[in-house]
Structure 1
């Protein structure tokens, strides 16, 4: 497919991009983001499916189960639009291939998207924003929104173009050269490293208990620091993570930490 797009294709790219923000507008536990995806795809369906019957069939294709990281959903939209164009020009193509490619993209792209956006960009942006907000600066929330949304919007827009231009060849090429596997691994490592490094700066857990032993004052916090600096924030984080993995609700974990902090402060432990 040529990388030079016609005016109607450029218009379509913009429509797919703007409509992608409604991806989760009809989110449900039966088909997840399917209805939002079909609505976002409708300009492509109108452009390439000339008869009402063809449009109905295309809408049915795009209301099948779908769920992906919203920030990069435009790659799937662009690719699906490209394949709808290919099907309109080559009727011997099996239309079920369009949905098959969409489904095959969900896992790899979500792995990359979740690692980059939820595990990296959001954590870094929140870390910077919270640090400034704790100092009483209005730049805290502003920088958080800018640091997260500027790369998000740029990537979201260009993913529409890349998906449309690459078309159905992307899946075969990416799996053959191992690109998907390498990108997923890289994003996961970056995300985990960032989250791990921020535990020491973002989680505060100090023990205020002291005891007088003869002429020596035992400060329990200093004992923990000698074992390993910031060991208590690390243990608290691992404990919360372990509870969530075992099925404990996040709100329950938050309330438990709040209660522990309140009781610990009242009895002089914290």
Structure 2
């Protein structure tokens, strides 16, 4: 009974650290990792606790938590809690599927980002601003404070409770999935969702439109971009993304080299009037 109480108390302490550390998600952002370093920093106390005495396991977990991560800041602690609970399971079970940790994390960050952005940036911020603007027009000097309270209080409550909920749900459901033999199915499904999300991000964030067309006697006889779209919409952005991934994984090209290479490519294509 004493050990269980001590463990629960320690976990509560870790969850409080998770909440405060979660504010650093985008403190150091890179194009290739986004908030990965902030995520790793927030979950580090759990790794230090769960992998105590297992230095190799702790190193692997630290590398695992540096994978690409980008989501809404209000929903983020919920994912942190789930990942922390999965790392705990991984440290205790030899047959735990380590790939499921990043698969779950990747599959959750997209949908929760959409929900969080819609609810908090789209709805709550607008309502809070509307109330505060009305107060400001009436000459109320507390209007800015009202806005900050109306917007931030729900966000911070969700952030604090979300981490706790993710941790408790993760522990119970992951254990149940292992007992029922469904963890591999969940991992595969999560991987599919994650890949779909990455594909959607590629189509939205990678843009290159061909402006050069084939002309004859001053008239356009073939619109290159329209022709490519008929073959496959977003074909060139997809090729660029896959080629960049190939260079990163197979040729071990530095991300900085890729970034400068894309900048130079864009300038050259623009000067030549191709894109």
Equivalent residue, structure 2, for 1:148? 151
Task: State the shift of 1:33 in Å.
Answer: 0.6
CA deviations over 1:191-249 (Å, ceiling 9, x no partner): xxxxxxxxxxxxxxxxxxxxxxxxxxxxxxxxxxxxxxxxxxxxxxxxxxxxxxxxxxx
**Aligned positions of 1:169-184 closer than 5 A:** 169=173
Equivalent residue, structure 1, for 2:266? none
Whether 2:118 is the aligned partner of 1:103: answer no
Equivalent residue, structure 2, for 1:18? 20
> Please, which of 43, 47, 54 is the counterpart of residue 49 of structure 2?
47
> Please, which of 78, 84, 87 is the counterpart of residue 87 of structure 2?
84
CA RMSD, 1 decimal: 2.3
CA deviations over 1:111-170 (Å, ceiling 9, x no partner): 211111101111111111122122332121010000011111111111001100111738
SS at match of 2:129: helix
Q: Distance in 2 between matches of 1:124 and 1:139?
A: 16
Whether 2:104 is the aligned partner of 1:112: answer no
Q: Which has the larger radius of gyration?
A: 1
SS at match of 2:70: coil
> Please, which of 159, 165, 170 is the counterpart of residue 167 of structure 1?
170
Task: State the shift of 1:18 in Å.
Answer: 0.6
Equivalent residue, structure 2, for 1:30? 32
Gapped regions of structure 2 (runs ≥ 5): 187-275
Q: Distance in 2 between matches of 1:96 and 1:138?
A: 53
Equivalent residue, structure 2, for 1:202? none
Q: Distance in 2 between matches of 1:56 and 1:123?
A: 43
Equivalent residue, structure 2, for 1:74? 77
Q: Distance in 2 between matches of 1:101 and 1:86?
A: 14
Number of aligned pairs? 172
Equivalent residue, structure 2, for 1:57? 60
Q: Distance in 2 between matches of 1:91 and 1:130?
A: 57
**Aligned positions of 1:185-264 closer than 5 A:** none
TM-score, structure 2 as length reference: 0.59
